[in-house]
Amino acid sequence: MNQNISDTNSKKIIETDRKWYQLSDKKIAKIYKTNLSIGLTEQEATERLKKYGPNCLPSSKKPNIFVIFLKTFLDPLCIIMALAGLITIIAGIINQEMSIPDVAGLCIIGLIIITNSLISTYQEIKSMNYISSLGNKEEILISVLRDGVIKQVNVEFLVPGDVVYSKLGEFIPADLRIVDQSVLKIDESSLTGESEPVEKSAEVIKEDNLVISDQKNIAFMSTMILEGKLVGLVLNTGLDSEIGKIASKITTHKTNRTPLEKKIKALTIRIGIIALIFGALLLAFSLFIRDELPVALQAWNTLLLLAVSAAISVIPESLTIIVKLCMMIATKKMDKNNVQVKNPKSIETLGNVNVICSDKTGTLTQNKMHVDQFFVDFKYHPNPSQITKNKHFLTAFALCNDAITNPDNQILGGATEVAIVKFLEQQKINYLNLKKLYPRVDEIPFDSKRKMMTTVHKNKNHFTSYTKGAFDYLLANSTQKIIDGEISALTAEDRTTIENQAFEFARKGMRVLGIAFKNLKSLDDEYENDLIFIGAVAIIDPPRPEVKEAIKTANDAGVRVVMITGDHKITAQEIAQRLGIYTEKYNQVITGAEIDTLSQEELSEKIKSTNVFARVSPEHKAVIVKLLQEQKNIVAMTGDGINDTPSIVKADVGIAMGISGTEVTREVSDVILKDDNFKSIVYGVRAGRNVYEKIKYSISFLIAANISQVLTILFILLVNKGVALNSVNILFHIFVIETIVAIPIGMGYDRKGVMWNPPPSHKKESLLKGIKMQIIITTTLSSLFAILNYEFAKFFTDNDILAQEFGKTGVYISIMFAPIVYSFLYNNFFLPINQKGLLIKKKEKFILNKRLLIFSFLALFLAIITLVPVEQINKFFDFSTIGLPAGLIAIFVTNTILTILSIWLTYQGYIKVKNWWWNKKSHEK
């Protein structure tokens, strides 16, 4: 609504809202208090800008850094740790006694929370800044009349009442009432979905309640001028424009949680329950044997801290950081490969996609129409050299054509007309000279109902009309034909011949345009009846050469590709067959008209065997996406126009075209293809799968390392009535493993063979699927060898007190060093199994970021080796290395090495057994 106009005019503006086409330009100028000869003054423009705001669509506000930092403490894992620390402090206050290890343990809990929050905040800010930099827009200048002078003004400073000058090839900067124009044609496909250019004029329209596409004297924001130029009066800007109204409705939709967020939440709850069970068991057992424990451990608040620490250790606190880190790294890599991710969270969803719904034009095809084959003189001509002698045929297409050449020698116009002009140029036909030689004196513009356009030209003392359009409509209005310059009647047999040839062209994926003419006695004659059929051209938008291989890669990776297009059913099927979308399994083509006749249940069943949808509307696209999702698929949807936004918003991942896409489409999407290429989508899926794999590996590593520690403590407590690790040891292990070791795993290099992995079978598939055996093997063997270290210390030491101290040292070395070492090889142990059940080749192994891991390892190794022999450090960590026999040290180190080797050998054996079972099962089938 135009809020900045005076109160006296506000009622009038409300009454005329959406009906500017009924008012003259002078009346509108009066409403807006604008002089069409002078424009607004700079002062008036400045005042209106304050009231209307900038002429742009709103972007999301950048959150405050402090707010981001505070939000990190709301993470469930962080809350659990904070509550655990609080409980321990309260217990210490009640007991009125806290030992040095107790205080140290609390300090470590605080250190872990603060460290994780700082890292998470840093990564969040870094990611936001990077995403923000991707969305930076270049300044767009437009010609505006102000103070009687035409000036170049930033499009964002445009205000209602401005007088704008726009020309060929420029985008309309706001909703404009056309004041003056010159042979004006505008592409409104981004707003209305209509592919043909719309002819505009400045004439007042008296009809009422017109839809946008029929408002011929209004130019709408974000549409483009294909021919001519205009002078326009700005009606609405920003959100008040037609495109802005659509954007405001769409961009306010609630952002749903991604599948990964839901899975992490579910996993956190499960691990939290397990942690509580472990903590409760440890507290119960320790209180039960309290009198048998060392005096220093008998205080109930100390035992509570031990139980709380053990419970905390089960929880993978760094998981949130690893996820954010993986997303940020992937975002940068994807942007370098023409995949711009607006929301990093959508990367994982893209990796889990198992259905990609793609538009045909520009994404699967080159969006470069070119004339390929011909039907002239009632003969099929695959070679253009065969028709160069038929000047009448070529002249007809040159004259009945609205494409133009701008001063930069660029051909602008509809895709088919540009293709025809380029073909004429290749045949050395100067279409501009022909237009001068045979000037256009009248025309009937293209109409989506008639599917034809007609131009009338003066040829010396008589007139000739040329009609171009869909062959079936053209044929219905033709009564004669011309062959080798001879005109004769068009028989039923002739019509069959033309229809069969047109069908053959369409079957090959081509668009067919027929051409006919008529010699007029005068301009009062009917232009489009009793036509003389000349021939037809077959125009093709060829598939991108790299797309077929990309689709094969997607199919091999378990991703189904669905093509949704407005093209003819036969054309769509042909293109789909060429690209490998139309297959034996998916061997149906459904049209929009057929969708309207089917019930939801019938359509849902047909979708299971259909990969090609033709002649569909935007509403059909949204229905298709919805039904695919109801079948538990994770769906990605591509689009470029505003009419695609409902389906893009509905999809799990909305993908907008960066070149041909509208601003609104890009605004509501999750991902933008900077090159409009389907191949880039497949790259995005690969990147998403790598992120998902790294996160799963990190989860596997964290759970195995953490649970093995708790199991060791529980076993030794039950069997030996001793405490293998105290709260400080446990919490320090958390700090080292969670913060320093686990994070580099999430920073590993991408693995090309990740596409061999099958996508999740459904959205709710557990994060633990596929890594449970990894966790079981690693946890079991890590716990076993840590316990053996404790038992060896008891066996080789006569003094019970020293045996207890040396046993703690053995457990500490095993629990601390084994994960640090096997983190280098962890993902090489657990090479993923592809969907055929076979182990991924060694050359496709997941390679870690060794440089970062080596630095972490050396830093920890030096720190621990330095700290362990120091007596004060021993007391702090509650174990002793003073007098530790060299033989025991050798045993501890050997067992740590055996931990790593046994994990590797056991998993390799498991893989071989699984492969044998898979092959046996496949052979039986």
**CA atoms of 543 and 817, how far apart (whole Å):** 55
Q: Name the residue among 184, 156, 128 with its Cα closest to residue 52.
A: 156
Sheet containing 653-657, strands listed edge to edge, beginning at the edge strand earlier in sequence: 339-341, 671-673, 653-657, 635-639, 355-359, 560-564, 610-614, 588-591
Which letter does DSSP use for residue 833 in this model?
B
- What sign does the dihedral 207-211-214-218 (CA atoms) show? positive
H or E element that contains 233: strand 224-236
CA distance 767 to 699: 8
**Residue 219 DSSP label:** E
CA-CA-CA-CA torsion sign (369, 375, 376, 381): positive
Are the beta carbons of 542 and 365 closer than 8 angstroms?
yes
Q: HSE-up of 742 (CA within 13 Å, CB side)?
A: 29
359 is catalytic: yes
Tallying the residues shown for the chain, one arrives at 925
Q: How far is CA 486 from CA 267, 482, 607, 632, in A?
A: 80, 5, 51, 63
Q: Kindly list the distances between the CA atom of residue 128 and the CA atoms of 202, 328, 455, 668, 732, in Å, as whole numbers in the listed order.
A: 46, 9, 54, 17, 32
Of the candidates 652, 667, 624, 617, the one whose C-alpha atom is nearest the C-alpha of residue 249 is 667
Contacts of 471 (CB under 8 A, 6+ apart): 498, 499, 502, 512, 513, 514, 536
Contacts of residues 865-870 at CB distance under 8 Å and 24 or more positions apart, as own/partner, are 868/809, 868/813
Query: Residue 202, SS3?
Result: coil
CA neighbor of 540 nearest in space, from 577, 567, 521: 567
CA distances from 793 to 657, 763, 879, 885, 889 (A): 66, 49, 13, 10, 10
Q: Are strands 588-591 and 560-564 parallel, antiparallel or unpaired?
A: unpaired
Q: Catalytic: which of 75, 175, 240, 359?
A: 359
> How would you class 142 by CB atoms within 10 Å of its CB: exposed for 0-12, middle for 13-18, buried for 19 or more?
buried
Helix (H, G, I), strand (E, B) or coil at 541: coil
Q: How far apart are CA 171 and CA 663, in angstroms?
A: 12
**369 closest CA partner among 411, 339, 405, 327:** 411
d(CA 437, CA 457): 9
Buried b (16+ CB within 10 A) or exposed e, 107-118: ebbeebbebbbe
Burial letters for 434-448: b for 16+ Cβ neighbours within 10 Å, e otherwise? bbeebeeeebeebee
**Distance from chain centroid for Cα 156:** 28
| Euclidean distance between CA atoms 192 and 491, whole angstroms | 40
| Paired strand residues for 231 | 165, 180
Contact indicator for 849, 857 with CB cutoff of 8 Å? no
Distances, alpha carbon 913 to alpha carbons 442, 753, 839, 924, in Å: 80, 22, 12, 16
Q: For residue 234, give the H/E element and its range.
A: strand 224-236
Q: What is the set of active-site residues?
A: 359
